Structure 1
């Protein structure tokens, strides 16, 4: 851009100087011509005077009568001084009495009169003539017209070249992959045909990107969604359960519900497909509304008449309330005449603890479902497994007191886990946290964060995490290059007090801000994009990077990645788990990376646990990975 502007400035300056030079030469030529003409005219007057004197002496021969006719002529010719001599004898002398500062001296011998010589002084030729007001007015008007046309031409040329600069600005934005800004920067580019062509191409590119996002969503939908109901299918449920577990079993407590509609396939033959679809749609909509309040819940279809619901990080007491709500909305549905809801809906629940296997979980849920069916009426059943996690069974009041105590006494412990790129170098460190209780035990985040959300204390905890990163990790003079990523929740991003504090802090520590990466859950971004867009834009303008994690957890369009200008995306562990054995997951990753081509967005993967997974991810184009294969979270000193 600087080069383009420099060239246009040079061109306009050259054009302006050229016209000014032409005007100057024109005026100089006119001045020289004027001086030359006045000098020639004066020469003619001297010659005429000489001829008159020669004629006088040829006919009279004396100088006695010169006083009668010569002075008026000399006055008319503006002669200052004249001397007529015969040898050394002065025959006639004339003086006007008006001395001028500048004069021209002429000395001549009269033709055919030996000894007679004439000498005279005249003013400078151009001083003999003065401009009249009329001539001066014509001159000034001429100069004005020249200046006007030169200025008009300069402005016209500058306008034309400004159009070229507008085209250069759009071209630079396109080369920097800033297509949206280039499309908005229509300007007044000239030639207009090129400007319109750029606009047309950008519109086509924008439409192609949207089509690519829709195609990507189509691939994900056909891979992980049930085509009839639009919720997750059996493969989707398997991936999500794999993501909630590892080799040592489930990583967090929760519940699995299996909801089955009795003899729905036989009912299809009696009442028809249209009424069955209406029953399914009503049931799914009501259940989805209930699950909206349950973070990270999973809703999928296992078979034609069986649905699975997984809710992680929920207490046993809340499981009973949730089961009652699910059964209540099902029983409130209006069924076709002749069909009773008294023995139509059955729910089996299996509460799982940390360390239990997913196979054991599914088996227990199926047994509970059969027990609910054996009871004969619509209802739900869950085997009594005894006491669950003692920490999780704490009451809300005790939890709030404990969390407030942890905040005041700064009992938060920071852990970091490296994100390794394909060259085995650390791209950044992801920060997680735990709480140390009075017995010096560490309470994991999966346990205390849900309770912090219930108590409305999430912004305070995440603020302490950011302060620890800024004041302890980034302030380390021995390490000035490592980047750190911090997770932000929905409650935190919607907190005005937190956003004000974050803006002030990032502004104060702007020299450290480029080493910060803020991660946001994909589900949060997709469902609250209008509310979060200004906050995310503020963070990005402050110099920090943005990352969206848990990508692939939900089946949504990836258009939000470009709209919010994320720098990184992190694949959910359900996509990464055993990806070398799952062609559908590989297809999703290929489609995702292809849709982000030329955007500069890097794709990472979390939950990498085996060499085969990492090799497959690198082949697919994933830039970096995070997981137990590289390192487990390590406590920061």
Structure 2
């Protein structure tokens, strides 16, 4: 039962009890007045002086003085002198019957007996009127109290409703200021509690929002570049695919083609700086367009989506990126910075074909020279795209023998140690523009051209040394693992080197450890055959495989070039120092020279020298330079 109903029930009960008590009071007063009236009648002198011989005359005398309900005089001897008037019964309602009192008087005279009952109608009517007045006053008081209580309950309901609404708003994370006037009086503690809860919830929500922003940033913002992640890029593509309006725009894919080379030669920190700078350039060029969104969609790939832009206007965006890439290229002395492929789209375009077209555009841009871009409008079957374009580009450079050599020396740590200079091949297209080396090698392997490419490098090196006697010293040549594991290639190499043994003695063939470890038998055969013609073998990125020490015993190369991760912070990394020292000790017993790569700081150089490595290579030692003979001519093919 509600408070309001309970209050009214209690109030009705109380007023009923009060009314009942009032009725009893009226009855008590009625008895008092009746007794007074009866006493006054009994003391009347008429009762003593009247002639009681005639009953009717006696009645008239008493009736003139008193109101009689019942009169009866019974003469002792003569019934004719007897007289009766009125009745002992009195009609009335429940209340008057309950209030009724009997004022009887019976007395005996010498001639008869008198019985009288005084009439109490006036007394009862007066008592009843008093009770009705009292009852009306009670009803009026009840109505007033009920109205006051209802108003109070209404006000309380408004306050409770406001409190409930406020709590609901808190559950919906709405933190409007509390109106204290609506929760005053007895609700003041509730108002204070709600206000405190609001402040705490607001603070907690603010903290959660900060954490959510941080998590969202971590999940959807690339930590190195600050751009959106691949997931956000995919979501954006979905809006293009599922869109039903006629909006147009462009999708640009920018490939950071030098990332692998920079990571290998300068370290991952330099690679991260390289990516961050590319992201900065892309953002600066895209900020001019209102609906541009930039993303890092893979390790070295960036995506830019610009809505509401025509293909003609997008050329300014591409030109700006190329200009900034060219400027950045000069500052870091790299072969290139990145290549851009661009395709237009219309709302509703499928994502997969769009990305395929953009990837093809990037591949074409890579064949056009450093920092080039290419716009691909559509695929019509008559043009060369992606892999096909690369296949023809590689075949073309092999046919033209289009490569130039750069050289990076290795510094010996002791005078008795004989090391070599590493030759780095750079390939260029028909326009004389350099192509990204890592992409050329990867595409050559994909299209089965790696052996031809390695043969080109080897033959070009032998030709250069034969034609220019002024070139002195030993030189390292990189050959792919795919070629090194092929018996036919090894036989060809042995045959070529066997014809020029004086040149072969100056060559060191560098092969990646991971590739050699795929086939120990083939790796052992490679080293044996190369040694048989007087050349030497160097294993690069050494120490990353799980079987590196087994490799020492079975393959026995002449040099191992430690992976650059071992040189990184070796001055403070005790674990690196322990592993490097262990590898040096084992290699020394097997007469294998250990070369540390990726040396970028003086502290790293000094720490490695103390560990007694045989040679050092890295940007701190010497940067790659275009190969020149003593006459100052650039070595090229």
Sort the TM-score into its range (normalised by shorter chain).
0.3 to 0.5
TM-score by length of 1: 0.40
Identify which of structures 1 and 2 has the higher relative contact order when contacts are C-alpha pairs closer than 8 Å and 6+ apart: 1
Which of the two has higher C-alpha Rg?
Answer: 2
TM-score by length of 2: 0.40
